[in-house]
Amino acid sequence: MKTKKQNRKQLSGGFFQGIVSRENIEAIVIAVVLALFIRTFVVQAFKIPSGSMEPTLLIGDHILVNKFIYGITIPFTEKKILQFKKPSRGDVVVFIFPKDPSKDFIKRVIAVEGDQLAIKDKKIFINAQPINDPYGVYRDPYIIPGRGSEMNRDNFGPVTVPPHALFVMGDNRDKSYDSRFWGYVDLNKVKGKAFLIYWSWGGLFQDMRWNRIGKIIH
């Protein structure tokens, strides 16, 4: 037969177990809510699936994207609030692909609203001036003729970027499916600016790219 003291111990133990259990659940809920908040409004992780941004970004690079720098998107809408700045020329941005909203693309901003852009034999001109293009890589020596075509890799435009839009290109210029082929990116479709490689893996353990981890994206 159990004594009153033993019963009190059991009751006390059950009470503390309930507190611990409740505290654990609350901690998990708070962690989940905080993670969702950070992912939605602050920072989101992405994996690079193609070589269109080589050599800046390689297939298998895992990156972090600053989601609030260009404004916070109201959930279930494309409206932005608290917009600190707009994307600038040279920014590497993640955006919703205009031709398929289920996909996210990553490219570099080449021209912003109001800019006149032209490409002549692989050379980019903004407002009739050749630009310094340190990140663009051209590996195919062949130049596709046809200046003035709207779907030409090496000769394009001139065009004027419309209001509230961006013209973007991949750094791997000869192997990138970008604004030269499908048009402009609406500013409301931009998810954020890529800023850090936090993991890089080629597929096998020996393919770990340790020297890329922690690399700032320019």
Element (H, E) at 31: helix 4-37
Provide φ and ψ at 197, rounded to 5°: -95, 115
Catalytic residue from among 67, 107, 189, 193: 107
Q: How many Å is the Cα radius of gyration of the chain?
A: 25
Catalytic residue from among 9, 47, 52, 191: 52
Q: Answer whether residue 31 shows pLDDT above 80.
A: no
pLDDT in tens, 71-128: 777 666 667 766 778 999 999 999 999 999 999 999 999 999 999 999 999 999 999 9
Query: Across the chain, what does the average pLDDT equal?
Result: 83
Confirm whether 50 is a catalytic residue.
Answer: no
Confirm whether 200 is a catalytic residue.
Answer: no
Name the fold adopted by 48-216.
Umud Fragment, subunit A (2.10.109)
Q: Say what the pTM is.
A: 0.79
